[in-house]
C-alpha cells in the first residue's frame, strides 16, 4: 500500500529538518576549526571549581583550533592546590597562553601572580595592579595551619623557589617575584612593564592581540610565532554546573546555605510532614558542605554554629523563657565570625552584613517559634476529648456512678467521680478515661439580682 499524501508530507518535513541539522553542525564545526583567540575569564577566588573550568576550557581551545588562549584575570587569590593545577595545565597546553590582568581596576594578587608568571605572555590593562603573593599554609582538610617560624620559612622558601622557576622559564623578573612572595609587594601595570614582570599593556583583548602579533613563544611542541592581529575572539564561558559550583564556593554564599539548610532541617523535624523545608534544607546543607570543603574552615567556628542550633532546638522542646535562645544567638554570631580563617587571606572573609542579617533573622524566627510553642502549651485544648474538659452538660440517666450524659451535642458514657447524680442534673466534664467521660455535679450559677 502506498503512503498517504499526509505521510509523504511528514517524511519530507523530517528529511528537511535532518538536513538542516547536518548543515548547521557542519557550519559550526568548520567555524570552530577556523583560527580564533579563546578567552577564559578567571574572575574571583581560585578554587577547585575554577581550576576545573580552566582545565576544560584549555582542552576545548586545543580541540577546536584556537591560535592563542587569553586567560583574563581579576582575582584576589585562592587555594594553592587549585593554583598549581591551573599552572600545570597552562604549561602543558599545546596552544600559547596569555595571562591578561583586566579590565581596568582588576588585580592579580596571591595565586594570580603565579598564574601570570606561568603564562608565555603576561599582560595587564591600565589601572590594574599585581602582587601580594605571600603563601598561606593549609592542611589536607583546607584548614589554615598555625605555623611555627621554621614552618613559615619552609613554606615561604618553597613558594619563592616555585615562582623563581616560573620567572626563569618565561624570562621575567625573578627578584621582584621573590619580593612579592616574601614581602607582599604590589606594583601598577606601568611599573610591572618597566620591571619586566609583564610583556605588554593593552586596554582590551583586540588591542592585546594586535600588540602580541609576531611574538615567538615556546610550547611543548616547540617554538610558535603568533599571528593574532585581527583574530576572531571567542569567549569560553563556564558551564552552568561550573558556574554554580564556583558560586557556592564563595565564603558568604556557603555560609548562608549552611545557615538556611540547617534551619530548614530543624523546621522539618519540629513539624514532621512539611517535606519541602526538609528537602530544600537538605540540598542547601549539601551545597554548603561542598563550598566549605574548598575553604580554610575553622572547626571551632563550625562547632559553635552547630551548638547554636542545638540551643535553639532545646528552647523549642523545653522553653526556658529565652535563656537558651539568647545563648544560641551569641554562639551563632561568634561562630560565624570565626568560621573562615582569614588572617593571611582577607578576601575569604564572610560579609559582616550577611552575618548581622542572618543573626537577626534567626533570632526573630526562634523567638517567634519559642513564643508560639509556649502559648500553645498554655492554651486549653478546644478540640477532641481533651477540649471537652470544663464543658457543662446534663445527665440523661442517673449516674450511680455510671450512666449517660449529653455534652456538646452528643450522648456520652460517663462516670461520676463524686456522689450519685440524678437524671436531669447539670454535670461538668473534668476528664476522660478512654471513651468514657469523668464528670461531677456542676456548680449552679447564681443569677444576678435585679432591682
The CATH number of the domain holding residue 156 is 3.90.226.10
Mean pLDDT of 51-74: 96
pLDDT at 379: 56
pLDDT at 365: 77
- 333: which strand partners? none
Is residue 369 situated within a structural domain?
A: yes
Is residue 11 situated within a structural domain?
A: no
Selecting among 29, 104, 154, 229, the annotated active-site residue is 154
For residues 404 and 366, membership in a common domain is answered with no
Q: Which stretches within 64-204 are classed as H helix?
A: 80-92, 111-118, 149-170, 174-182, 189-194
More confident: 314 or 164: 164
Is residue 8 situated within a structural domain?
A: no
More confident: 218 or 264: 218
Rounded Cα distance between 37 and 67, Å, is 6
Is residue 9 situated within a structural domain?
A: no
Mean pLDDT of 429-439: 83
pLDDT at 52: 95
pLDDT at 292: 84
For residues 413 and 363, membership in a common domain is answered with no
Q: What is the pLDDT of residues 336-374, one digit of tens each?
A: 888 886 665 667 778 888 889 988 888 887 777 666 655
- Helix/strand/coil (H, E, C) string of 263-304? HHHHHHHHCCCCCHHHHHHHHHHHHHHHHHHCCCECHHHHHH
For residues 289 and 369, membership in a common domain is answered with yes
Cell numbers 471537652 label which residue? 388
Selecting among 82, 93, 110, 259, the annotated active-site residue is 110
Is residue 1 situated within a structural domain?
A: no
Domain finish residue from 344, 359, 378: 378
Interacting residues of 271 by C-beta distance below 8 A, sequence separation 6+ = 277
pLDDT at 345: 62
Q: Give the chain's mean pLDDT.
A: 82
Rounded Cα distance between 212 and 222, Å, is 18
For residues 74 and 186, membership in a common domain is answered with yes
More confident: 317 or 233: 233
Which of the residue ranges 50-59, 278-287, 430-439 has the most confident prediction, judged by mean pLDDT? 50-59
Quick check: 97 pLDDT over 60?
A: yes
pLDDT at 296: 76
pLDDT at 385: 55
pLDDT at 173: 96
Is residue 446 situated within a structural domain?
A: no
For residues 44 and 154, membership in a common domain is answered with yes
CB 231 within 8 A of CB 209: yes
Share of the chain above pLDDT 90, in %: 41
For residues 177 and 293, membership in a common domain is answered with no
Q: What is the pLDDT of residues 267-303, one digit of tens each?
A: 777 666 677 888 898 899 999 988 888 777 888 888 9
Is residue 97 situated within a structural domain?
A: yes
Domain finish residue from 351, 378, 405: 378
Radius of gyration of the CA atoms of the chain, in A: 36
pLDDT at 375: 59
For residues 68 and 46, membership in a common domain is answered with yes
User: In this structure, what CATH number is given to the domain that contains residue 422?
Assistant: 2.40.50.140
Rounded Cα distance between 84 and 115, Å, is 8
Quick check: 239 pLDDT over 50?
A: yes
pLDDT at 8: 43
Q: What is the rounded (10 degree) CA torsion for 211, 214, 215, 218?
A: 140
For residues 188 and 296, membership in a common domain is answered with no
pLDDT at 323: 80
For residues 287 and 210, membership in a common domain is answered with no
pLDDT at 373: 57
103: preceding bond cis by omega (within 30 degrees): yes
Nearest to 130 by CA among 168, 102, 152, 90: 102
Output phi, psi for 404, to 5 deg.
Answer: -120, 140
Mean pLDDT of 36-63: 95
Share of the chain above pLDDT 70, in %: 80
For residues 360 and 304, membership in a common domain is answered with yes
Number of independent structural domains in the chain: 3
Q: The domain containing residue 85 runs over which residues? A: 19-241
Quick check: 180 pLDDT over 70?
A: yes
Mean pLDDT of 305-314: 85
pLDDT at 133: 82
For residues 141 and 206, membership in a common domain is answered with yes
Mean pLDDT of 199-213: 96
Q: What's this model's pTM, rounded to 2 decimal places?
A: 0.69
pLDDT at 370: 60
For residues 362 and 427, membership in a common domain is answered with no
Is residue 278 situated within a structural domain?
A: yes
pLDDT at 18: 44
Q: What is the pLDDT of residues 376-423, one digit of tens each?
A: 555 555 555 556 777 888 888 888 888 898 987 788 888 888 778 888
Output phi, psi for 187, to 5 deg.
Answer: -140, 160
Residue 154 a catalytic site member: yes
More confident: 158 or 141: 158
Rounded Cα distance between 429 and 405, Å, is 10
pLDDT at 89: 96
Domain finish residue from 330, 347, 378: 378
Amino acid at each position: 500500500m502506498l503512503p498517504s499524501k499526509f505521510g509523504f508530507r511528514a517524511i519530507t518535513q523530517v528529511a528537511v529538518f535532518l538536513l538542516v541539522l547536518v548543515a548547521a553542525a557542519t557550519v559550526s564545526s568548520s567555524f570552530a576549526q577556523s583560527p580564533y583567540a579563546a578567552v577564559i575569564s578567571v574572575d574571583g577566588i581560585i578554587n577547585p571549581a575554577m581550576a576545573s573550568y580552566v582545565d576544560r576550557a584549555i582542552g576545548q581551545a586545543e580541540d577546536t583550533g584556537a591560535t592563542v588562549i587569553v586567560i583574563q584575570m581579576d582575582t584576589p587569590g585562592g587555594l594553592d592546590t587549585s593554583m598549581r593545577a591551573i599552572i600545570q595545565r597552562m604549561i602543558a597546553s599545546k596552544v600559547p597562553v596569555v595571562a591578561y590582568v583586566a579590565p581596568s581596576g582588576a588585580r592579580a594578587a596571591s595565586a594570580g601572580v603565579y598564574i601570570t608568571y606561568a603564562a608565555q605572555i603576561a599582560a595587564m590593562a591600565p589601572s590594574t595592579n599585581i602582587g601580594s603573593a605571600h603563601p598561606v599554609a593549609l592542611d589536607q582538610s583546607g584548614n589554615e595551619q598555625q605555623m611555627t617560624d621554621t614552618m613559615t620559612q619552609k613554606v615561604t622558601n618553597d613558594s619563592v623557589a616555585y615562582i623563581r622557576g616560573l620567572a626563569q622559564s618565561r624570562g621575567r623578573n625573578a627578584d621582584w617575584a621573590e619580593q612579592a612572595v616574601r614581602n607582599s609587594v604590589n606594583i601598577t601595570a606601568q611599573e610591572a612593564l618597566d620591571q619586566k614582570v609583564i610583556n605588554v599593556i593593552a586596554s582590551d583583548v583586540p588591542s592585546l592581540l594586535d600588540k602580541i602579533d609576531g611574538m615567538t613563544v615556546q610550547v611543548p611542541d616547540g617554538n610558535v610565532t603568533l599571528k593574532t592581529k585581527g583574530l576572531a575572539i571567542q569567549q569560553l564561558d563556564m558551564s552552568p554546573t561550573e558556574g554554580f559550583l564556583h558560586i557556592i564556593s564563595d565564603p558568604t554564599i556557603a555560609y548562608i546555605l549552611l545557615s538556611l539548610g540547617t534551619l530548614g532541617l530543624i523546621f522539618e523535624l519540629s513539624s514532621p510532614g512539611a517535606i519541602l523545608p526538609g528537602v530544600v534544607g537538605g540540598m542547601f546543607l549539601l551545597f554548603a558542605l561542598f563550598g566549605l570543603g574548598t575553604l580554610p574552615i575553622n572547626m571551632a567556628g563550625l562547632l559553635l554554629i552547630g551548638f547554636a542550633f542545638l540551643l535553639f532546638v532545646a528552647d523549642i522542646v523545653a522553653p526556658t523563657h529565652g535563656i537558651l535562645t539568647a545563648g544560641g544567638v551569641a554562639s551563632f554570631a561568634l561562630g560565624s565570625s570565626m568560621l573562615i580563617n582569614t588572617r593571611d587571606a582577607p578576601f575569604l572573609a564572610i560579609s559582616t552584613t550577611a552575618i548581622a542579617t542572618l543573626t537577626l533573622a534567626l533570632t526573630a524566627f526562634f523567638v517567634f517559634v519559642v513564643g508560639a510553642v509556649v502559648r500553645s502549651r498554655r492554651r486549653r485544648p478546644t478540640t477532641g476529648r481533651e477540649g471537652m474538659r470544663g464543658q457543662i452538660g446534663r445527665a440523661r440517666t442517673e449516674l450511680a456512678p455510671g450512666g449517660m450524659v449529653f455534652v456538646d451535642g452528643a450522648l456520652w458514657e460517663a462516670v461520676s467521680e463524686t456522689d450519685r447524680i440524678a437524671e436531669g442534673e447539670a454535670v461538668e466534664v473534668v476528664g476522660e478515661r478512654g471513651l468514657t467521660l469523668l464528670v461531677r455535679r456542676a456548680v449552679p450559677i447564681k443569677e444576678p439580682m435585679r432591682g
